[in-house]
A = this chain, B = another copy of it.
Amino acid sequence: MTALYDVAGIGNAIVDVIAQCDDAFLAKEGLTKGSMALIDPARAGTLYDAMAAGIEASGGSVANTMAGIASFGGKAAYIGKVADDQLGRVFRHDMKAIGCVFTTPALAEGPATAQSLINVTPDAQRTMSTYLGACVELTSADVDPEIIEAAQISYLEGYLFDPPEARRAFAKAAALAHGSGRKIAMTLSDSFMVDRHRSALLPFIETQCDIVFANDAEVCSLFETDDFDAAVKALAERCEIAAITRGEKGSIAASSGQLYEISAYPVEKVVDTTGAGDQYAAGFLYGLSQGLPLPVCGQLGSLAAAEVIDHYGPRPQVNLRELAAKNGL
């Protein structure tokens, strides 16, 4: 069966609140630079009160990736849970506006749409404090077989390993995808998530994931090692394709015993690294869905990441298909 979608994503549907801060603010608020911490509504209230004025933008790691894939011209679909509130309507609008199919019903009652309070330091690092709200109400029932079975690749957000019901949704998605001869990709999302769920995550990767995305901290956390090369090798042995990002050092794509080093695109001034990994995955997955060689997939990822770190906000502000064409990709 030909695929109706290039990539379908399942993730936390989040609206980002992005503000500038200094290192002293992170220290005072007890925040670990570059990390993602889960917070409850009370903490979200006090932290927001303390934050600088910001902008709001639809976010959510895998949702950002889907936006990137759509911007490359790929056919994208998304599954995630928002509430029936103003920010939920913003999130839904933005997904549809970028051309991504998003039909998961909004939560009628209960918690608000998720918000990630993102503090960006002058070194462009983002520190995220996320109130998951409606996201954790995602269930297997939301995993629409008509989407997963019709997608070349289904892409799972590691953050969803936290809520048990969402993990069941992942199992359903993997069964549906593989039953239809499709691929499952996953991002490890966050080294603390990896640390929390290592024992469940490793078998899930080995048995259910064809393609795995991670950054250096996440892959090292997964194998509890400081030896980056060993961690990359260990991950590559456990899946078909591994793609590991390393910030300005570029990325590595590994498959069938081959390693490809991919350099980062130069950026004049890095403003906000929010969404860098998400857009790398967008370029990479879009390339895979078009049957491009792995090094080219990696270059598309690098290009999309370079675009997004050049401005505030986690999604592309230019058409990535045109940007790729301009860059000869």
Near B by CB (< 8 A), chain A positions 28-68 give: 48-49, 51-58, 67
- A90 CB contacts on chain B under 8 angstroms: 17, 56
Chain A, interface residues (CB within 8 Å), range: 20 to 34
B49–A317 CB distance below 8 A: no
**Is the contact region of chain A dominated by helix, strand, or loop, or is it mixed?**
mixed
Interface string of A89-105 (1 = CB under 8 A from B): 01001110110000000
Considering the complex, give the chain B residue whose CB is closest to the CB of A318.
B20
Copies of this chain in its oligomeric complex = 2
Considering the complex, give the chain B residue whose CB is closest to the CB of A20.
B317
B53–A55 CB distance below 8 A: no
- A86 CB contacts on chain B under 8 angstroms: 85-87, 112
Q: Is A178 an interface residue (CB 8 A)?
A: no
A52–B97 CB distance below 8 A: yes
Q: Is A298 an interface residue (CB 8 A)?
A: no
B97–A53 CB distance below 8 A: yes
Considering the complex, give the chain B residue whose CB is closest to the CB of A319.
B20
**A326 to B: closest C-beta gap in Å:** 15
Q: Is A295 an interface residue (CB 8 A)?
A: no
A57–B55 CB distance below 8 A: yes
- A54 CB contacts on chain B under 8 angstroms: 94, 97
Q: Is A167 an interface residue (CB 8 A)?
A: no
Are A93 and B55 also in contact (CB < 8 A) when A85-B86, A86-B85, A86-B112 are? Answer: no
Are A97 and B55 also in contact (CB < 8 A) when A86-B86, A112-B86 are? Answer: no
**A49 to B: closest C-beta gap in Å:** 7
B317–A98 CB distance below 8 A: no
Are A55 and B313 also in contact (CB < 8 A) when A48-B93, A93-B48 are? Answer: yes
CA distance A112 to B87 in the complex (A): 13
Q: Is A315 an interface residue (CB 8 A)?
A: yes
A sample of 27 cross-chain residue pairs with beta-carbon separation below 8 angstroms, ordered by A number, consists of: A17-B90, A20-B317, A48-B93, A49-B93, A51-B93, A51-B97, A52-B97, A53-B58, A53-B67, A53-B93, A53-B94, A53-B98, A53-B315, A54-B94, A55-B55, A55-B56, A55-B313, A56-B56, A56-B57, A56-B90, A85-B86, A86-B86, A86-B87, A86-B112, A311-B311, A311-B312, A312-B317
Q: Which 7 A-B pairs have the closest CB atoms?
A: A56-B56, A53-B94, A53-B97, A86-B86, A55-B57, A53-B98, A52-B97
